[in-house]
């Protein structure tokens, strides 16, 4: 049961973390529109493979923090500032009305390789997974056994792939509604990150 829970946690975290219109998911939609759905799936596969490594690195860092309690309190204080900043940032994005696809250029070359490269360039990924896994560890939901870690990592990769595959499948609808989609998702993320900032802050009061 624990293995299934860790798989589901990884899937949900990665799926929700990839929801925001970004370089990866909007490029997936662009490739689907301008080339084919199969090429977009290849891109998604390459991007998801990189997620395997990114999540594993994040977990290693989380384990290091768990063995060094002094860093946990420092990280919590930093997290308050980061979550508060992200809450304001996402709220401001939700107030804008821009078409995300208009700024995304179609990438040429092998779609699978392009997916690997673009996902590797996503510098926000490891800090995101590190923050999430640290929070899950503090909540007692993440257990660092080899099998649990493997299931969480695999679940995360499949969660990212599932979301990117959705962008590939519904590229036309996403292109038409990308501005509204970005606005709604950014507002939700603003509320969530603001809530995380408050919860973390209350732990110090």
Of the pLDDT bands very low, low, confident and very high (cuts 50, 70, 90), residue 102 is very low
- pLDDT tops 70 at residue 97: no
Let me know the angle formed at the C-alpha of 99 by 95 and 100, rounded to the nearest 5 degrees: 100
Confidence of residue 178 (pLDDT cuts 50, 70, 90): low
Q: How far apart are CA 97 and CA 108, in angstroms?
A: 28
Q: Residue 20 has what DSSP assignment?
A: S
DSSP 102: G
Q: Which domain holds residue 60?
A: 2-202
111 contacts: CB under 8 Å, gap ≥ 6: 31, 35, 39, 40, 42, 43, 46
Which comes out higher in pLDDT, residue 138 or 32? 32
CA distances from 78 to 71, 75, 117 (A): 10, 5, 30
Structural domain count of the chain: 1
pTM: 0.69
| Rounded Cα gap, residues 137 and 123, in angstroms | 22
Q: What is the pLDDT of residues 33-55, one digit of tens each?
A: 888 899 999 999 999 999 999 99
pLDDT band of 195, cuts 50, 70, 90: confident
């Amino acid at each position: 049961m624990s293995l299934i829970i860790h798989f589901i946690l990884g899937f949900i975290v990665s799926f929700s973390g990839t929801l925001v219109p970004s370089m990866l998911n909007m490029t997936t939609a662009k490739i689907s529109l301008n080339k084919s759905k199969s090429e977009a799936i290849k891109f998604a596969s390459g991007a998801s493979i990189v997620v395997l490594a990114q999540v594993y690195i994040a977990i290693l860092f989380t384990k290091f923090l768990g063995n060094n309690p002094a860093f946990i309190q420092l990280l919590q204080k930093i997290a308050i500032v980061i979550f508060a900043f992200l809450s304001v940032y996402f709220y401001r994005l939700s107030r804008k009305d821009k078409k995300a696809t208009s700024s995304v250029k179609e990438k040429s070359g092998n779609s699978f390789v392009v997916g690997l490269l673009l996902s590797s360039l996503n510098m926000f990924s490891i800090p995101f997974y590190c923050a999430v896994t640290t929070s899950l560890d503090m909540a007692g939901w993440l257990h660092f056994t080899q099998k649990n870690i493997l299931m969480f990592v695999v679940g995360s990769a499949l969660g990212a792939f599932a979301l990117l595959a959705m962008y590939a499948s519904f590229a036309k609808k996403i292109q038409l509604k990308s501005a509204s989609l970005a606005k709604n998702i950014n507002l939700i993320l603003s509320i969530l990150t603001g809530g995380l900032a408050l919860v973390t802050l209350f732990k110090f009061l």
